[in-house]
Amino acid sequence: MSPKNIVVLYWHRTDLRLHDSPALHAALALNPSIFIPVWTWDPHYVYHSRVGANRWQFLLECQTSLSNSYKSLNPNQQLWVVREGPTTVLPKLWKIWGVTHLVFETDTDSYARSRDGEVQQLAKEAGVEVIIRMGRNLFDPDELVRKNGGKATMSISQVERAAEKINGGEPAKPLAGPKEIPDAWGIEKMKEVEAIKTEKIDATPDLNAEVRGGVENQYERITGPKGDFGVPTLKEIGISESSVTTPHRGGEEVALKILKECVEDEEYVGRFEKPNTSPADFEPQSTTLLSPHLHFGSLSVRKFWWDVQHVLEKRKGAKKPTSSVPTNLPGQLLFRDMYFAAQAAVGPAFATTRGNPVVRLIDWHLQSKNLEKDGTDDKRGDGTREYTVDSPEAEEWFTRWKEGRTGFPWIDALMRQLKQEGWIHHLGRHSVACFLTRGGCYVSWERGAEVFEELLIDHETACNVGNWMWLSCTAFFAQFYRCYSPIAFGKKWDPQGDLIRKYVPELAEFDKKYIYEPWKAPIADQKKWGCRVTGDGSISKSEDGQTYPKPMFDFDKRRQICLDSMKSAYDVGLHGADKDVMNGSWEKKFLMDEGNEKSNKRQKTEK
Ligand SMILES: Cc1cc2nc3c(=O)[nH]c(=O)nc-3n(C[C@H](O)[C@H](O)[C@H](O)COP(=O)(O)OP(=O)(O)OC[C@H]3O[C@@H](n4cnc5c(N)ncnc54)[C@H](O)[C@@H]3O)c2cc1C
């Protein structure tokens, strides 16, 4: 085919960048006469995945930045945002714009796999050639699985061994970004899509109704309210500007600047060891905070790897102390690949307990409803699962955890930082995840993962659920007797309690002696420091001034109960895909177990 006749529709999804994009490179290598970079505003993410205001804003910033980059290379270009789901709109676009090739980056997330399968079939029927390239990971997750004997990658050493068989353990080198971009069709031809019948949008279940304070008009016109295929505004998607509270900004330019500053600090990169970075540091935080950029693809993970690798090699050459995998920065990126490949092997069930062969079944409180006898699989994988409130007390703990009013200042500071900023340090995530599950509340990790899914600006299904399984000791990690104290762990990193003072300002005046355990402060001191420790925090002001809640339970007692219960659950030894789990009879096994908190409770109530 002569380049004259080549019309490429480039479908941006996980790659909001121009630098090092193998799919974009392949698309431009076709030498197209017409090149149309498109984003389809997919109702699946708008309604059926939990997304908070901060992550919406981050996405819009990434899209705006990409659109501007296109414009700077070709004033007639932009990111063409089309407001309809991809499986219905793409075939219409191909027809109207005479598309010959569809090009996109591989996405191994469960929803994306089935969507892309459907799109490929439609393209085949329409005679459109499809080109797909991997660029979201260091190594192709499916290839890692194959090299790991077809099994989920459950440890870094498995990833390293599998990667060794792919390219001697080295990710491909980054590709240069384009210097020029061909034209799209003229605006009149582009706008012909307005004549097409818009499909009815499937807006139920709407998991983001609460996030959207205002009226949304995101699907009223396929080309957007101005008819210019523009990146939506917050207002158009029904989100008020005041609900965006994150200080973290999106976009390729921002990502490249952060990476540049990071690698210029040779000591930082050379000595980086994750366990030695503080969860209490803010402005600046102690790790790179590049995760949201990797999530949206505003940064290439291979560029991250190689820029860091060059610093490490230089240091090694100069015989300077240099950290190594898995605690150094490349090690962190391998953890990311580990979770992607584990998800690629397990499929949609990776995000749940039911049907997931790698996850242990623990008899948590607030289990997903699909674990009940008549439970069904969440085939759409859209997080619509409901849960069973087996204990009103656990439900209350879960709510207090989510809202940052547990009465444990370290936990509350982190949960409020998460809500405000959409990002917390990895060890902060450890603390709050352990506290909600095996180290305090004994609430299902699936509840915690759903809260993170909404609030994180870096939410990545594979990494989120993978890490929740790790922290709850249901997969990847099994040392459940190693538990984070909400008091001692924070104190170790931040003896002055600065993180607490920032995010729990009602305790700002407390002496460092009491900042982690304010309930122990004498009443006279509490009054002097302007905050009484009383109630459950549901009312922030009381008659005598500001208040902070009492701890919601005795942590030492809860830790012991959780430890005993975990031990019993490990003895029962069920996993998510076992017959007893799939047919809903698993509870019987726990009822027979004497050592378990919940089974004892149940036996008592059943009598
Ligand atoms: C309960 C829980 C939930 C999590 N949910 C997510 C999530 O939804 N999305 C997400 O990207 N990370 C998640 N993580 C992993 C990790 O906490 C973040 O990737 C990291 O804190 C991001 O900050 P950073 O960019 O400064 O990391 P850095 O320490 O600078 O690491 C560089 C990059 O390596 C990757 N990385 C580092 N640690 C991990 C890890 N343990 N697992 C996977 N990738 C890692 C990230 O892409 C990160 O940007 C979660 C961790 C826990 C304990």
Whether 533 and 549 have beta carbons less than 8 Å apart is answered as yes
Same domain, 378 and 419: yes
Tokens (6 digits) for 339: 């979770």
Same domain, 444 and 326: no
Residue 539: strand, helix, or coil = coil
Residue 386 lies in a domain: yes
280 CA to middle of ligand 1, Å? 16
Which range, of 1-10, 41-50, 162-171, averages the lowest pLDDT?
1-10
Atom 36 of ligand 1: nearest residue by CA position: 332
Work out the pLDDT band at 604, boundaries 50, 70, 90: very low
pLDDT at 602: 47
Residue 336 lies in a domain: yes
Cα 424 to Cα 285: distance, rounded to the nearest angstrom: 9
Share of the chain above pLDDT 90, in %: 89
Same domain, 366 and 436: yes
Same domain, 371 and 467: yes
pLDDT at 595: 57
Beta carbon of 598 within 6 Å of any ligand 1 atom: no
126 CA to middle of ligand 1, Å? 40
Cα 469 to Cα 492: distance, rounded to the nearest angstrom: 25
Q: Is 289 annotated as a binding residue?
A: yes
Mean pLDDT, rounded, for 194-210: 88
pLDDT at 411: 98
Atom 3 of ligand 1: nearest residue by CA position: 464
Same domain, 16 and 117: yes
CATH number of the domain that 57 lies in?
3.40.50.620
Q: Is 138 annotated as a binding residue?
A: no
426 CA to middle of ligand 1, Å? 6
Work out the pLDDT band at 113, boundaries 50, 70, 90: very high
Q: Which residues on adjacent β-strands are paired with residue 82? A: 40
Cα 165 to Cα 168: distance, rounded to the nearest angstrom: 6
CA angle 78, 83, 84 (to 5 degrees): 130
Q: Whats the size of the chain, residue-wise?
A: 607
> Residue 468 CA: which ligand 1 atom is closest?
1
125 against 594, higher pLDDT: 125
pLDDT at 603: 43
Cα 240 to Cα 97: distance, rounded to the nearest angstrom: 35
Beta carbon of 442 within 6 Å of any ligand 1 atom: no
427 CA to middle of ligand 1, Å? 10
4 against 186, higher pLDDT: 186
Q: Is 288 annotated as a binding residue?
A: yes
Spell 186-217 as b/e; 16+ CB within 10 A means b.
Answer: eeeebbebeeeebeebeeeeebbeebbeeebe
Residue 332 Cα distances to 148, 248, 405, 432, angstroms: 19, 21, 31, 20
Residues in CB range of 463: below 8 A, 6 or more apart: 335, 336, 339, 340
Of 155, 305, 452, 463, the residue with max ligand 1 atoms within 8 A of its CB, to mutate for a pocket test, comes to: 463
> Residue 459 CA: which ligand 1 atom is closest?
8
CATH number of the domain that 318 lies in?
1.25.40.80
Same domain, 311 and 439: no
- Amino acid making up residue 428: G
Q: Which tens digits make up the pLDDT trace of 227-256?
A: 999 999 999 999 999 999 999 999 999 999
Beta carbon of 456 within 6 Å of any ligand 1 atom: yes
Residue 343 has pLDDT above 60, yes or no: yes
Beta carbon of 333 within 6 Å of any ligand 1 atom: yes
Cα 24 to Cα 27: distance, rounded to the nearest angstrom: 5
Same domain, 331 and 359: no
Atom 1 of ligand 1: nearest residue by CA position: 468
pLDDT at 385: 75
pLDDT at 606: 34
Q: How many CA atoms lie within 13 A of 59 on its CB side?
A: 22
Among the listed residues 424, 480, 487, 476, the one whose alpha carbon sits nearest the alpha carbon of residue 452: 424
Residue 605 has pLDDT above 60, yes or no: no
Cα 283 to Cα 270: distance, rounded to the nearest angstrom: 21
Same domain, 373 and 417: yes
H helical segments located in 494-548: 498-503, 523-528
Cα 590 to Cα 265: distance, rounded to the nearest angstrom: 53
The secondary structure element, H or E, covering residue 542 is strand 541-542
Helices 86-97 and 110-126 cross at an angle (nearest 10°) of 30
Tokens (6 digits) for 277: 């970075």
100 against 601, higher pLDDT: 100
> Residue 291 CA: which ligand 1 atom is closest?
49
pLDDT at 372: 86
Which range, of 259-263, 305-309, 522-526, 588-592, averages the lowest pLDDT?
588-592
Atom 26 of ligand 1: nearest residue by CA position: 289
> Residue 425 CA: which ligand 1 atom is closest?
21
Q: Which tens digits make up the pLDDT trace of 307-319?
A: 999 999 999 999 9
ipTM above 0.85, yes or no: yes
Cα 95 to Cα 91: distance, rounded to the nearest angstrom: 6
Mean pLDDT, rounded, for 49-59: 97
Q: What is the DSSP string of 367-396?
A: -BGGGSTT----TT-SS---B--S-HHHHH
Residue 566 lies in a domain: no
Mean pLDDT over each residue of the chain, to the nearest integer: 94
pLDDT at 544: 46
Same domain, 306 and 383: no
Q: What is the DSSP string of 429-481?
A: HHHHHHHHTTTTT-B-HHHHHHHHHHH-TT--HHHHHHHHHHHTTSSS---TT
pLDDT at 596: 60
Atom 22 of ligand 1: nearest residue by CA position: 291
CATH number of the domain that 357 lies in?
1.10.579.10
420 CA to middle of ligand 1, Å? 18
Beta-carbon count within 10 A of 177 CB: 16
Mean pLDDT, rounded, for 501-518: 97
Strand order through the sheet with 545-548: 531-533, 545-548, 541-542
Mean pLDDT, rounded, for 77-99: 97
Tokens (6 digits) for 103: 């090009």
523 CA to middle of ligand 1, Å? 41
Residue where one domain finishes, among candidates 293, 327, 345: 345
Residue 415 has pLDDT above 70, yes or no: yes
Among the listed residues 3, 112, 96, 72, the one whose alpha carbon sits nearest the alpha carbon of residue 380: 112
Of 274, 300, 332, 432, the residue with max ligand 1 atoms within 8 A of its CB, to mutate for a pocket test, comes to: 332
> Residue 272 CA: which ligand 1 atom is closest?
29
Residue 245 lies in a domain: no
pLDDT at 562: 97
Beta carbon of 39 within 6 Å of any ligand 1 atom: no
539-547: list long-range contacts, CB under 8 Å, 24+ apart. 540/506, 546/506, 547/506
pLDDT at 591: 78
Q: How many CA atoms lie within 13 A of 148 on its CB side?
A: 26
pLDDT at 159: 98
pLDDT at 597: 62
Residue 204 has pLDDT above 60, yes or no: yes
Tokens (6 digits) for 433: 């995840």
Which range, of 111-125, 198-212, 447-461, 462-476, averages the lowest pLDDT?
198-212
Residue carrying structure tokens 């096994």: 589
Same domain, 34 and 127: yes
Q: Which tens digits make up the pLDDT trace of 572-581?
A: 999 999 999 9
Helices 409-421 and 426-436 cross at an angle (nearest 10°) of 120
Same domain, 467 and 365: yes
Share of the chain above pLDDT 70, in %: 94
Residues in CB range of 492: below 8 A, 6 or more apart: none
> Residue 294 CA: which ligand 1 atom is closest?
47
Residue where one domain finishes, among candidates 96, 113, 135: 135
Of 467, 470, 484, 489, the residue with max ligand 1 atoms within 8 A of its CB, to mutate for a pocket test, comes to: 467
CA 79 to chain centroid: 24
Among the listed residues 322, 289, 257, 272, the one whose alpha carbon sits nearest the alpha carbon of residue 425: 289
Residue where one domain finishes, among candidates 135, 162, 197: 135
Residue 164 lies in a domain: no
Atom 37 of ligand 1: nearest residue by CA position: 332
The secondary structure element, H or E, covering residue 301 is helix 301-317
Cα 457 to Cα 474: distance, rounded to the nearest angstrom: 25
285 CA to middle of ligand 1, Å? 13
DSSP letter, residue 483: -
Beta carbon of 63 within 6 Å of any ligand 1 atom: no
464 CA to middle of ligand 1, Å? 8
Same domain, 272 and 407: no
Residue 580 lies in a domain: no
The secondary structure element, H or E, covering residue 123 is helix 110-126
Mean pLDDT, rounded, for 152-165: 98
Q: How many domains in the chain?
A: 3
Domain with 261 in it: 252-345
